[in-house]
């Protein structure tokens, strides 16, 4: 969602701030702004729309040469998309500027208090309230004022604050929203995401909740909001610059679709011993006692991660014989869930920062569940709050439309299901068979990717249609949901995903002449039934595009267009079947002229409930 980058050091920082914002553009935003202390005075510039609009405004003013500053991309929550609501927000009496990710939940009460003290607000945001509160509490020490203000705040925040009365000091803090302090040579770059730091330094400090850091070019001091000193944890950032660059691809989404063979090889490396029929998951190794006790699994996630979790539900019941239920974390959280002894919650999330998923996890933990994470971003909030877990290891996902994280999530859930299955009833032979097939997934995805041009040609035939159906059964019912989500997210085509059998219970009324219906019709237990469902669509004039198993010639009698995937045991088929759907969504968006990596209204990581 919102993005933060800030700098204090000895160099003019305007260009660095803008470059940092560009690295964060993928997170999704609708306005941008920056503040620099220039000749002892705060200079604030904001613009609605892209970072390039902000650049234009800065160019029109003439470059700032200040060596302390900060910049922000805002994804609107409180108040519309306007220049005034964009960050930084200021307290003009003291000369304080602040940028903020997160939500100040008690902002209304704080605002009333500040209005009574004579403060006049320009914006409709919760952030301006925090800026004014810091100003109100300022008594000549910015660090102390920030600590005091944060003691009054409930909600989530990652903030950066500068003050013209202390022109070499940057104060930053976090609770619930990520913030990293990159440590350079006499300079510090703070950001909400390592991608804005890694081209300057790979040494960084990750803040824990309620940490406040006072930074000057001479050094930094870390404390809590109650001013208790904290020993900083400095680590090496793992991120490679090439991982966050396009490297010849037109879009990050396209790059990440094509990266899937490599990302899955990384995900499997050292974890699958097909010869011995066993799975080695370091993140679970120390939790044998709790895992042996697991009698029921709840999976909580949102969006694409939920579709992966739904496949996980099939995997746990099928391969490990453990009752499982996947659901929207946002619904799980508020439906008074029953957590019995022996329940494990698995939070599935690429970013590890999704507020709904985090809230679901908290709820389950409070009720006594053993908490596992299936997360991509190392050290993220969800990763830190789970008892154990397995990282995806698919590398940073920049594309807002999640692709390689989905196949990574399904791969990890498959390995966990096999791991638990082997601890219960599954024979080494059965495990060997599935692990051997799992090992073939990257190479089979490579084969699907060679059909890119053919998939584009099929997409071109139908991408002017405004309504699509995606249908699948069993393991590939969630894959159908994922195909529909991908298409609507980036091409803005209305698409519905559902179990193929459900169509005749109502949605069949939608089918009219020429409506595209994508069926996942790979060889498996329900193949014949899917063929019947296809006929029901054809009989009503719908166009059928089938995702079928290689060498299935019979399907051509039923479907106008066929996209082939290699044969694979059914539990592993979603990892292959989703790839043509990802490519169709990608091509539909490009053909319709949309900016694939910056879809309207979407944010990469949704940190509000």
Catalytic machinery residues: 2, 604
- In angstroms, rounded to a whole number, what is the distance separating the alpha carbons of residues 155 and 126? 10
Length of the chain: 609
- In angstroms, rounded to a whole number, what is the distance separating the alpha carbons of residues 178 and 157? 8
Among 489, 565, 576, 587, binds ligand M6R (CB under 6 A): 489
**Residue 164 or 597 with smaller CB distance to ligand M6R:** 597
Closest distance to ligand M6R from the beta carbon of 398 (Å): 12
Residues 6+ apart with CB under 8 A from 191: 3, 4, 5, 6, 20, 24, 179, 180, 182, 197
- Phi, psi at 597, each rounded to 5°: -85, -5
Closest distance to ligand M6R from the beta carbon of 607 (Å): 10
**Residue 44 or 602 with smaller CB distance to ligand M6R:** 602
The closest alpha carbon to 585, from 327, 251, 249, belongs to 251
Considering only residues 569 to 608 of the shown chain, the ones binding ligand M6R according to CB under 6 A are 602, 605-606
Counting contacts by CB under 6 A, is residue 351 touching ligand M6R? yes
Closest distance to ligand M6R from the beta carbon of 271 (Å): 21
Q: CB-side exposure of 278: number of CA atoms within 13 Å?
A: 7
**Residue 11 or 384 with smaller CB distance to ligand M6R:** 384
Q: Which of the ranges 84-92, 144-152, 399-407, 424-432 carries the binding residues for ligand M6R, by CB under 6 A?
A: 399-407
**Residue 90 or 195 with smaller CB distance to ligand M6R:** 195
Q: Which region, left, alpha or beta, applies to residue 301 given φ > 0 means left and ψ of -120 to 50 means alpha?
A: beta
Q: Which region, left, alpha or beta, applies to residue 551 given φ > 0 means left and ψ of -120 to 50 means alpha?
A: left
Give residue number: closest CB to ligand M6R.
Answer: 303
Among 357, 407, 549, 573, binds ligand M6R (CB under 6 A): 357
**Residue 187 or 397 with smaller CB distance to ligand M6R:** 397
Among 350, 407, 526, 573, binds ligand M6R (CB under 6 A): 350
Closest distance to ligand M6R from the beta carbon of 578 (Å): 12
Counting contacts by CB under 6 A, is residue 389 touching ligand M6R? no
Considering only residues 286 to 305 of the shown chain, the ones binding ligand M6R according to CB under 6 A are 302-305
**Residue 253 or 544 with smaller CB distance to ligand M6R:** 253
Among 4, 401, 416, 441, binds ligand M6R (CB under 6 A): 401
End-to-end CA, the chain: 12
- In angstroms, rounded to a whole number, what is the distance separating the alpha carbons of residues 413 and 595? 32
Residues in contact with ligand M6R, counted by CB under 6 A, come to a total of 16
**Residue 33 or 574 with smaller CB distance to ligand M6R:** 574
Query: Residue 249: exposed, middle, or buried by beta-carbon count in 10 A (0-12, 13-18, 19+)?
Result: middle
Q: Which of the ranges 165-173, 236-244, 338-346, 350-358 carries the binding residues for ligand M6R, by CB under 6 A?
A: 350-358
- In angstroms, rounded to a whole number, what is the distance separating the alpha carbons of residues 261 and 286? 30
- In angstroms, rounded to a whole number, what is the distance separating the alpha carbons of residues 142 and 212? 11
Closest distance to ligand M6R from the beta carbon of 444 (Å): 23
- In angstroms, rounded to a whole number, what is the distance separating the alpha carbons of residues 477 and 279? 27
Sketch the per residue contact string, 447 through 486, with ligand M6R: x for CB under 6 A, - otherwise. Answer: ----------------------------------------
The residue behind tokens 């859930």 is 413
Q: Which residues of 374-405 are buried (b: 16+ CB within 10 A; e: fewer)?
A: bbbbbbbbbbebbebbbbbbbbbbbbbbbbbb
Among 354, 381, 414, 459, binds ligand M6R (CB under 6 A): 354
Counting contacts by CB under 6 A, is residue 386 touching ligand M6R? no
Considering only residues 81 to 140 of the shown chain, the ones binding ligand M6R according to CB under 6 A are none
Sketch the per residue contact string, 249 through 288, with ligand M6R: x for CB under 6 A, - otherwise. Answer: ----------------------------------------
State whether residue 488 is helix, strand or coil: helix
Tell me the two tokens of residue 453.
Answer: 């041009």
**Residues at the contact surface with ligand M6R, assessed by CB under 6 A:** 302-305, 349-351, 354, 357, 400-402, 489, 602, 605-606
């Amino acid at each position: 969602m919102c993005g933060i980058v800030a700098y204090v050091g000895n160099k003019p920082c305007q260009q660095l701030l803008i470059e940092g914002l560009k690295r964060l553009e993928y997170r999704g935003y609708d306005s941008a702004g920056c503040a620099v202390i220039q000749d002892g005075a705060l200079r604030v510039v904001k613009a609605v729309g892209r970072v390039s609009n902000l650049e234009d405004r800065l160019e029109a003013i003439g470059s700032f040469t200040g060596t302390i500053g900060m910049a922000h991309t805002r994804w609107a929550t409180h108040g519309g998309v306007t220049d005034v609501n964009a960050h930084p927000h200021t307290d003009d009496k003291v000369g304080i500027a602040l940028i903020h990710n997160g939500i100040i939940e008690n902002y209304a009460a704080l605002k009333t208090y500040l209005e009574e003290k004579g403060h006049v607000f320009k914006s409709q945001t919760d952030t301006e309230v925090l800026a004014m509160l810091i100003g109100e509490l300022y008594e000549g020490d910015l660090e102390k004022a920030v600590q005091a203000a944060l003691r009054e705040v409930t909600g989530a925040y990652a903030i950066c604050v500068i003050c013209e009365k202390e022109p070499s000091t940057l104060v930053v803090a976090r609770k619930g929203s990520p913030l990293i302090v990159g440590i350079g040579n006499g300079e510090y770059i703070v950001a909400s995401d390592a991608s804005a730091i890694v081209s300057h330094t790979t040494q960084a400090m990750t803040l824990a909740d309620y940490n406040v850091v006072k930074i000057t070019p001479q050094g930094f001091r870390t404390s809590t909001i109650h001013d208790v000193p904290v020993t900083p944890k400095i680590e090496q950032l793992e991120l490679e610059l090439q991982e966050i660059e396009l490297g010849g691809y037109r879009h990050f989404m396209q790059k990440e679709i094509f990266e899937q063979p490599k990302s899955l090889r990384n995900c499997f490396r050292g974890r699958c011993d097909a010869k011995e029929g066993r799975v080695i998951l370091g993140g679970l190794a120390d939790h044998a006692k709790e895992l042996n006790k697991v009698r029921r699994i709840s999976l909580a996630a949102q969006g694409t991660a939920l579709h992966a979790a739904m496949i996980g539900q099939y995997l746990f019941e099928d391969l490990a014989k453990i009752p499982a239920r996947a659901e929207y974390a946002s619904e799980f959280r508020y439906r008074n869930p029953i957590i019995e002894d022996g329940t494990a919650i698995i939070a599935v999330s690429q970013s590890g920062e999704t507020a709904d998923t985090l809230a679901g996890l908290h709820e389950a933990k409070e009720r006594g569940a053993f908490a596992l994470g299936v997360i991509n971003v190392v050290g993220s909030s969800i990763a830190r709050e789970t008892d154990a877990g397995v990282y995806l290891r698919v590398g940073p996902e920049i594309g807002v439309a999640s692709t390689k994280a989905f196949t990574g999530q399904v791969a990890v859930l498959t390995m966990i299901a096999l791991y638990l299955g082997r601890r219960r009833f599954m024979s080494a032979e059965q495990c060997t068979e599935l692990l051997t097939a799992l090992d073939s997934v990257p190479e089979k995805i490579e084969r699907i990717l060679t059909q890119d041009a053919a998939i584009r040609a099929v997409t071109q035939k139908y991408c002017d249609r405004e309504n699509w159906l995606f249908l699948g059964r069993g393991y590939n019912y969630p894959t159908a949901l994922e195909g529909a989500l991908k298409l609507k997210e980036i091409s803005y085509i209305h698409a519905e995903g559902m179990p193929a059998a459900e169509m005749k219970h109502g949605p069949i009324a939608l089918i009219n002449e020429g409506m595209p219906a994508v069926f996942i019709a790979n060889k498996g237990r329900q193949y014949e039934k899917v063929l019947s469902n296809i006929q029901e669509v054809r009989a009503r004039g719908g166009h059928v595009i089938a995702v079928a198993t290689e060498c299935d010639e019979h399907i051509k009698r039923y479907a106008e267009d066929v996209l082939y995937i290699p044969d694979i045991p059914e539990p592993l088929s979603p990892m292959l079947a989703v790839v043509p759907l990802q490519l169709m969504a990608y091509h539909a968006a490009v053909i319709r002229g949309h900016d694939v990596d910056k879809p309207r209204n979407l944010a990469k990581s949704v940190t509000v409930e």
